């Protein structure tokens, strides 16, 4: 008995590559086939790499990006939360230095009866990972089954956990290629990567925190704005109510960069205190999330003051096996850098401070590296603050001082003291809704 012949493929990868290479539009059925065939292993890595480079150089039309995103969603499972009996809304940040906003934000929004399915990731390079921070809490676990996730959303309202491997597996394969072929920066592919996972996650609405500046993935405001508009369009076209905030990442957020120290700062915010910039961004994002969930008049600042958000935090941590009262790791060795003269702090460059924290062990260079939860940097001042000679500027810490030299080398020239305070820039530069940005 002979094997039955396999059906011929309806398209050829080379034709798809040529169409985009020559600046043309790839037909919908051909683009869907390309993603599916790549996921099946029929389209070779080299061919998909060539296609990604063509997209980087020539871009994609709005409808092409929608089709590609939909095809990546179709490559895996799609979660649904219709049976919860309450609206779901999520937030995604493009990553920054000291960006611990998810930690106070999820329980704050949940305190208003809204479900927040926050599927988060780990840090790589100079940007920290939400899961790494939370794993500073003894007993807390990131891995939840879909049933556990749904039950916690129903009972507690907030979940911060690792995304399952079943969500948009085509994106995982494509991202690995982009990372080694110089095509990570392609905005259509960035937008499709982020939004395929967020839409597959099944949330009703989504708020995006798109960062720009020194410590952001997108250094340039105009490119960050283009990415924000592209992602909002993708969400809108897919039936997910979506808004984006463009936020400044030239300076680290808050006063802590690391893991355990960022958890401490987040708890301070939930207790009604904390640094002004962390509170400002947490409140701004919460307001937009609650507005999308049908509560535009919710008093989120009051929920931080009256303890409702803290109660939700404690329930969320406990539900995932963590002890909200446990002592967090602290550095055994520290070194403090002081002001060499009187003046004003003129800058603290987010990228260099992020790299320094990574070199202290708070981050990882490879996905399988371990992180040191006690390692990191505590800032004592921010740009615009007046200081006197000898006043502490920042403190680096870790389990020992073996990593201090490289970290301090990284911070040479990353901060400054001058005669005049710098002009303060808005933390939230722009809101993007629909097809047009609406400044506030």
Query: Quick check: 97 and 350 in contact, CB under 8 A?
Result: yes
**CB 99, CB 257: distance < 8 Å:** no
SS3 of residue 44 by DSSP = coil
The DSSP-derived string for 160-174 is: EEEPPTTS-HHHHHH
Taking the C-alpha atoms of residue 199 and residue 205, their distance in angstroms, rounded to an integer, is 9
Question: Hunting for tokens 């809304």 — which residue is that?
Answer: 89
Helix/strand/coil for 13:
helix
- Give the active site residues: 92, 171, 178, 193, 197
Strand runs (DSSP E) across 140-235, as ranges? 158-162, 205-212
- Both tokens assigned to 142: 């990131």
Query: For residues 265 and 100, is the Cβ–Cβ distance under 8 A?
Result: yes
Determine the number of helices (DSSP H) and then strands (DSSP E) in the chain: 16, 14
Are residues 393 and 411 in contact, defined by beta-carbon separation less than 8 angstroms? Answer: no
Question: What's the gap between Cα 277 and its chain centre?
Answer: 17
Taking Cα atoms as reference points, which of 16, 75, 73 lies closest to residue 40?
75
């Amino acid at each position: 008995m002979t094997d039955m012949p396999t059906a011929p493929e309806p398209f050829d990868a080379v034709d798809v590559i040529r169409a985009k290479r020559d600046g043309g539009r790839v037909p919908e059925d051909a683009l869907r086939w390309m993603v599916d065939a790549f996921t099946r292993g029929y389209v070779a890595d080299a061919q998909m790499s060539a296609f990604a480079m063509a997209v980087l150089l020539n871009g994609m039309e709005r409808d092409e990006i929608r089709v590609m995103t939909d095809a990546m969603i179709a490559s895996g499972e799609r979660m649904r939360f219709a049976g919860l009996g309450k609206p779901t809304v999520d937030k995604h940040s493009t990553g920054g230095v000291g960006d611990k906003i998810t930690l106070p934000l999820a329980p704050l929004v949940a305190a208003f009866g809204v479900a927040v399915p926050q599927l988060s990731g780990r840090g790589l390079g100079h940007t920290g990972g939400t899961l790494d921070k939370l794993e500073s809490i003894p007993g807390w676990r990131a891995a939840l089954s879909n049933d556990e996730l749904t039950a916690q959303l129903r009972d507690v309202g907030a979940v911060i956990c690792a995304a399952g491997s079943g969500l948009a597996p085509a994106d995982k394969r494509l991202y690995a290629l982009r990372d080694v072929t110089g095509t990570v920066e392609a905005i259509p592919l960035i937008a499709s990567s982020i939004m395929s996972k967020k839409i597959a996650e099944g949330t009703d609405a989504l708020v995006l925190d798109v960062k720009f500046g020194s410590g952001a993935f997108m250094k340039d405001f105009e490119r960050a704005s283009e990415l924000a508009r592209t992602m909002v369009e993708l969400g809108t076209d897919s039936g997910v109510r979506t808004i984006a905030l463009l936020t400044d990442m030239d300076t680290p957020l808050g006063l802590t960069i690391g893991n355990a120290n960022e958890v401490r700062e987040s708890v301070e915010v939930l207790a009604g205190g904390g640094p002004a910039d962390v509170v400002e961004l947490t409140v701004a994002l919460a307001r937009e999330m609650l507005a999308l969930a049908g509560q535009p008049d919710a008093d989120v600042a009051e929920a931080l003051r009256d303890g409702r958000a803290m109660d939700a935090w404690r329930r969320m941590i406990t539900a995932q096996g963590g002890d909200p009262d446990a002592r967090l790791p602290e550095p055994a060795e520290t070194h403090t850098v002081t002001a060499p003269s009187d003046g004003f702090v003129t800058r603290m460059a987010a990228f260099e401070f992020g790299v320094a924290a990574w070199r202290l062990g708070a981050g990882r260079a490879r996905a399988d590296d371990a992180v040191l939860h006690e390692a990191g940097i505590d800032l004592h001042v921010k740009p615009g603050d007046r200081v006197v000679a000898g006043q502490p500027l920042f403190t680096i810490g870790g389990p020992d001082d073996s990593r201090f030299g490289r970290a301090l080398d990284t911070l040479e020239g990353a901060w400054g003291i001058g005669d005049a305070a710098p002009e303060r820039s808005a933390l939230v530069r722009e809101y993007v809704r629909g097809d047009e940005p609406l400044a506030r």
